[in-house]
Amino acid sequence: MKAARAAQTTLVLVRAESCTGKTRACFEAVRACLNDWQLAFPKNARRLLALLDADALGPRTVLWLDDAQSHLIGTDAEEAAAAVRSRLEHPGPFVILGTLWPDHHRTLTTTPKHGNDTYHNARALLSQATPVDVPASFPTTALRSSLVRHDRSLATAVSTSADGRITQTLAAGPQLVDHYNQAASHNPYGHAVITIAMDARRLGHSSPLPAALLKAAVPGYLTEQQRAAAEPDTWFAHALDYACDRVMGVVAALEPVASPDGMGAVPDIYRLSDYLDHHARTVRRFAFPPASFWTAARDHAADTADLEALAEAADHRGFFSIADDLYQRAADGGGASALAELAWRRTQVGDLDGAEQLLQRLMNAGDTGAPSQLAHLRQRAGDLDGAEAPARLAADAGDTGPLVELAWRRGEAGDLDGAERLAQRAADAGNINALVRLARRREQAGDLDAAERLAQRAVEIGGRDALVRLAQAYERAGDAESAKRWRRFGL
């Protein structure tokens, strides 16, 4: 690696689908090039933050973020991404090595079209990475290598794999899928538990899954006869045993989650196999989970990011009441996106008081977008006086839109002095649109002195182009005298 000889900190991102050898490729690269370096291997965002906050990682260290989505998505993820960004600014030599699925990479690097920017720091971090893409399959020439022929495991994998996808075979992926499929007939309860885990992951529950959620969702995945045949005291334990069986001694559909503070596993918490997660996003892409899934998610999901993602998925599938409940639980847990969504929903049904209470909570939590939304809400309700304070806060945060709109509404109501005061405030923050509009309104009212004063103020701030466009509009309307007057300011 060039990073071994560099004096700076380097971020290398290995991208590939499940079971394609990402982790193995990183291991071999580190062993070959950085064998005498220190290695740090935090398992989640909280552990990563603790390492960086303690400044425990010196030069000639590899910070290994295997399955980086576990560090960049969920609780503490944005704070962790910001901390890694800061570490990139420190001198090296230092290597940050991450692995990531392409789907997760797209999620983290796509700029949102509207709403809160959930992955701002993660996107900024990944933009600085040197990407290395691992193909899903090996080329034919590589599979004909003598090294492959003389290794029994590799030779068997080549002979039983389609399209050179030998790493998936080596990881027992196909056998795991068969283990899942066969359960539909001989162990429907185990099949249902695995299916629920697959649905939960693909619909946004990215953190480990509580057993209570899996159990509560099962009835909707079974027939009436299957439910009647279940042994009340033992069916779920047997279903979990099947889901946790290791296929070929290598991998299970559901894996235990290691205790974050010591040895052993966290009780009643499970993580879905990455291979089945990837499989589910293809074979169950259009599957519509039953109502029992959504009520189980509402009652048992705990992580705020999971609740918000599941709420969005429920909303897209027509479970509006469940979505509302999920957003409410996320909001109660401090989810800013959930609070903003609930406020919008209250507005849509005409509950302006409820929407205002939610926006006030957002403002109290320091959300910089909430004042703008609250100002628009109060203007919509006709409360121009009440809209002014949040509009000023929004302008202080860089959004002058509410002030401009409020100035226009004041002018429409005949309060030109109030409109001018707000327009001046917006102009001070860099937006001269309200000044230009008000100047035109003053002119139409016959107050040419006030119109010229406002136009001159706009020019001082840099609004010549706006005045030229206004002059052109007058010219198109055939008002040559007004066009001449406004063009004079734009020259």
Per-residue pLDDT, 229: 94
Task: Say which DSSP state 8 is in.
Answer: B
* Share above pLDDT 90 across residues of the chain, in percent, rounded to a whole number: 33
Separation in Å, CA 157 to CA 143, 144, 272, 349, 428: 10, 12, 24, 58, 69
Q: Are 302 and 244 in contact (CB under 8 A)?
A: no
| DSSP-assigned letter for residue 273 | -
CB-based burial label for 54 (10 Å; 0-12, 13-18, 19+): exposed
- Whether the per-residue pLDDT at 210 is higher than 90: the answer is yes
The tokens describing 439, both together, are 């100047």
**Is residue 390 a contact partner of residue 402, using CB atoms and an 8 Å limit?**
yes
- Tell me what the mean pLDDT of segment 194-211 comes to: 94
177, 234 Cβ separation under 8 angstroms: no
Highest mean pLDDT among 85-89, 167-171, 193-197: 193-197
141 three-class SS: helix
Strand-pair partners of 130 = 12
- Write down the pTM of the prediction: 0.58
Phi, psi dihedral angles at 187 (to 5 degrees)? -150, 70
The region of weakest confidence among 201-205, 225-229, 298-302, 382-386 is: 382-386
The SS3 assignment for 226 reads helix
Q: What is residue 472's predicted lDDT score, i.e. its pLDDT?
A: 62
Q: Is 97 helix (H, G, I), strand (E, B) or coil?
A: strand
Strands (DSSP E) found in 288-341: none
Range name among 201-210, 411-420, 435-444 with the lowest pLDDT average: 435-444
Q: Given a cut of 80, is residue 221 above it in pLDDT?
A: yes
**11 has which bridge partners?**
96
pLDDT of residue 144: 82
Q: Tell me the range of 140-144, 429-433, 473-477 where mean pLDDT is highest.
A: 140-144
Sign of CA dihedral 432, 434, 435, 441: positive
- pLDDT class of 357 with cuts at 50, 70, 90: confident
Q: Which two tokens stand for residue 138?
A: 């090996």
Residue whose structure tokens are 């939590």? 365
pLDDT tens digits, 314-334? 988 888 889 888 988 888 887
Residue 366's contacts (CB-CB under 8 Å, 6 or more residues apart) are none
pLDDT in tens, 415-436: 777 777 777 777 777 676 766 7
Judge whether residue 491 has pLDDT over 50: no
129: nearest Cα among 106, 103, 107, 97: 97
Question: What per-residue confidence (pLDDT) applies to 468?
Answer: 63
Average pLDDT estimate for 292-305: 92
Least confident window among 180-184, 224-228, 352-356, 468-472:
468-472
Position 98 scores a pLDDT of 93
* pLDDT value at 241 more than 60: yes
Residues pairing with 272 in the sheet: 254
Residue 138: φ, ψ to 5°: -90, 145
Q: Six-digit token pair at 451? A: 């119109």
